[in-house]
Each structure stands twice: as C-alpha cells, then as structure tokens.
Structure 1
C-alpha cells in the first residue's frame, strides 16, 4: 500500500477516507458522524494525496473487499468524477463531503471554486509563517540582539520615534522577518549592519519639527517634562545628522516617515526591496 493507506485488522465497520490533500478534514467529519453511533463504531482508514486513477482504483479494490463506505474530499473535477463513476460501477457507497457546500457557495456568491487541492494546508503554512515572523520581530526589536540583523528579511534603522517598532510588527504580519536597530550617537551600531546586502536594509528619517513634536508628546505620556534633552532641537539635529552618516555608510534606501501612516511606509518598504532585488 502507498500514500498513507493504513490497514488495521478489526471487526469494526470500515470507512475509507480519500483526499487529494492530507485528508484531515474528511477524517474529522467521519469521526464526528461515528460518535453518533456509539463512538468508535468504525475503523477509519485514510488514503491521502490521491492524485490519479491508480490511487482511486486502489481504494475501490479495498472498499469492495470490506463492503465499506468511501468518504472523500476531492476538488480535482476529473478525479472526483472518476471516483463517483467507479464507485457506482462497483456498487460502493461514496460520499462527497465537500460538494453540497461547494455548490451552495457557487449559487449564493456567484463564484467558481479554484478546484485546487492543498489550499487549506497553504493557508495554515502562511499562518505559521506570520506567527514566526511576529515572534522574530519581538525578539529582535530595538537592537536587542545584533544576530537578528543577519537573519532578518528586512532591517530597519533610524533614530528613536521613527516608527521602527510599529513598522516591524506590521511587516511581520505580512510574513517578513524584521529586525530594527536604533541609531544613537553615543552607541556604535552593530558591525552586522555593515555586512548585510544594502537591499536588505531601509533607513527611516523624519523632519526635526515632526520629531520634536512626537518626542514631546511621548514625554508627556510618560509624565516627564517636555523640555528634556530628548526632545530638544539641538539633540534632535545631532541624532539626525549621525543617522544620515550611518545610512550613507550602509548605502541603504531611505524613507521619510514625517507624514506617513505605518501602512503607507510599510508598502513603500516592500516596493523598494522588491525593486532593489529585481536588479
């Protein structure tokens, strides 16, 4: 036997679960139904990744020997048609678990299905990729660990309050692993920053006026005096001049975030990186 077919010697009634993907959905439905018949009433035998007529014939032969039901989730039209035809010819009960709902979707929403197997698995993979990216962004936020610079898809650099963290999180939800590094005159940037390809890094700049405004509001929120050095024009100009030197040394593209929403800046970053990498 192949492709995930399991044979279990048992006196239970047998249901063959057939799918052009993993078959988890079909097995779950069959188990749910089986619980209505004193639970554990059936022996479920999964046949995953059915791709051609040979796979169907294999299941038909086994189901015929055990006088079983075939429950299936097949979205490839030709394969579904062949299974229905062969089951009818052999007098085997075959139940399509998707088609009734699929047809309801088509009638109500006036759309045609993709008829592509494994799409649910792709969605699951995307979900876990986003979760991994979010965890990465948290771990390598604010220059906490310079190793993240080498491992990231995108590295953001800039002075404090240039939206590095919100951008990192937003991009992480898009599936990008992002590290961000604050640029502070008194602290040398990690050497890793100068070892990565220039098209992997983006510098974030802002006008002095806007940064002064943002920092004053930040100090107020923290219950501190707005006249603190952190928000002074002199300090801001020093930081911006320093960050400009670092960005030139890195050779990375630069975005002015002064009057941009996080979403807008994130889209610009993605566009810039795509254009840089296509060269």
Structure 2
C-alpha cells in the first residue's frame, strides 16, 4: 500500500552510502518538492538487512538507490525489489562493468574499500604534518612520538627522507647532529631500532655543501663546507651513533628511494 504521492528515495550501501546519497540528491533537486526525503542505510552487509529495508520501502512511494559491490548482495537486492515491485537503481554497476571491460580484469568485489582508502589518505596526511612539525630538531618531543627518528649531520638527506617516508604513512622526526649542540636526551630514551643514523662521505659532503653555499649566494669557502669542519662533524656523529648502537646508512651513493627502502626494511624487522 502506497502512503501519499510524494516520493521517497532509499539509499542502501555496504559502506557509508555517501556516493549513493549524493546521486540521489542530484536527482531529487530536478523534481522540486516531488520527493519528500532521502533515507540512507549505511553498512548493509547482510541479506536480511536488504529484505527488511525493501519491505519497509514497499509501504511508501519509493525507489531504492544502492551502492553494493558484492554480487550476491546485488542479486538479492534485485530479487527482493522485484518481489515488491520497487524500482532499484544500481549506481556503481555500470561504472564497474565499464572498468572491467576496459582493464580486462575482475574487480575485487570487496565492501568498504573506499572507506579504507580514505583512512589511508588521512593517515598519510597526518604523517606528512608530523614530518613538517618535527623536521630538523624543531621540537624534541617528537622523538618519542615518531615511528622512526633520523639522525645526521647537515646534508645527509634527513628532510627529503622524512617526507618520502611520510608518504608511506611513517611518522618521522629528524634530528641534526651538530658538535656545538648536545643531542636531545630523548634519543637515548627510545629503543635503538627506532633510530636510523645517516652519514655521508667527506668528499661528497664537501661538494654538496659548497654547492649549497653558492646557491644561497654565500662564500663557498666558509667553514660550513671546509673539510676540517666536515671531518669533525662526522667524527662527532660517529661517537653518538656508537653510543646509541643504532643502524647507520651511508647515503653517499644512494638515491632517496633506495635509502628509504633500506629504512623500511629495518623498521619491519624491528616490528
């Protein structure tokens, strides 16, 4: 029995149902006040739920808009909707079929993947924000919160590595090692398998630092790029690394991706 003449749109989804609701709203607006409401039913993962929703919808002047990806659930929806003579619109079906033909591959048919992707995205954003906040020793409190802490003298790729790893959802804090500054006590208070020390060959550092000074319009013969200074920094850093007994990676002949891969391997072994 149909109650009233104004229509109702039932949105049924195995995830949040946001996609189906957006489509329903886009359609509803074309009919002014002819559609009274949109009712959303998220996380519909059982056939019994579908049966109950369709039975309820049959009491109204309703259609069903659904975003179900599991074939058995879609088939059940169509069968029950047909039984009650209700129009059921598959929002994703045509797109998935077209992509299946385009890629010549079978879809995963897993419910909630979009939600998992969203969670992954936000975790990545959090990791990037973390890397920026705790870059270059800005705040030593990040050491204890980080998944991994990178140590190294200037120009050992600490910041690029931090950002690269952040895109892998790894929260990274990096600490510069400078002879004139005591390293933060926090690095001695965390497990050494969460610390990665970075080093570089003296000649390579000398070249990199000279180019850096030139790029900044500064005298490339400044103490920062002198071999004596570089050797002193590396010696100081090595003493700290030995004290920490942490893994050490020489980045002199490695691309960022290669070094990051080594770091990820060390992290996984430590888990």
- Shared fold (TM-score, shorter chain, > 0.5): yes
SS of corresponding position for 1:223: coil
Structure 1 range deviating more: 157-166 or 257-266:
257-266
**What residue number does 2:268 align with?**
274
**How many Å separate the matches in 2 of 1:30 and 1:94?**
12
Q: CA RMSD of the aligned region, Å?
A: 1.5
Alignment of 1:134 with 2:142, yes or no, is no
1:224 to 198, 212, 218: 218
5+ long unaligned stretches in structure 1: 1-8
- The 3 A distance-change label for structure 1 pair 236 and 40 is farther
- The 3 A distance-change label for structure 1 pair 172 and 32 is same
SS of corresponding position for 2:59: helix
**What residue number does 2:158 align with?**
164
1:41 Cα deviation after fit: 3.0
Alignment of 1:189 with 2:168, yes or no, is no
SS of corresponding position for 1:269: helix
- The 3 A distance-change label for structure 1 pair 84 and 265 is same
| Aligned residue pair count | 269
SS of corresponding position for 1:62: helix
**What residue number does 2:200 align with?**
206
- The 3 A distance-change label for structure 1 pair 132 and 10 is farther
1:276 Cα deviation after fit: 3.0
- The 3 A distance-change label for structure 1 pair 188 and 38 is same
TM-score by length of 1: 0.93
1:39 Cα deviation after fit: 6.5
1:92 Cα deviation after fit: 1.1
1:158 Cα deviation after fit: 0.5
Spell out structure 1 runs of 4+ moving beyond 4 A.
none
1:40 Cα deviation after fit: 7.3
TM-score by length of 2: 0.96
- Cα distance per residue 1:191-249 (max 9 Å; x no partner): 10011111111000100000000000011111111111111111111100110111111
- Cα distance per residue 1:125-167 (max 9 Å; x no partner): 1111111111111110000100000000110001001010111
1:151 to 145, 149, 154: 145
2:245 to 230, 248, 251: 251
1:38 to 32, 38, 43: 32
* Residue pair 1:10, 1:43 contacting (<8 A) in 2 also: no
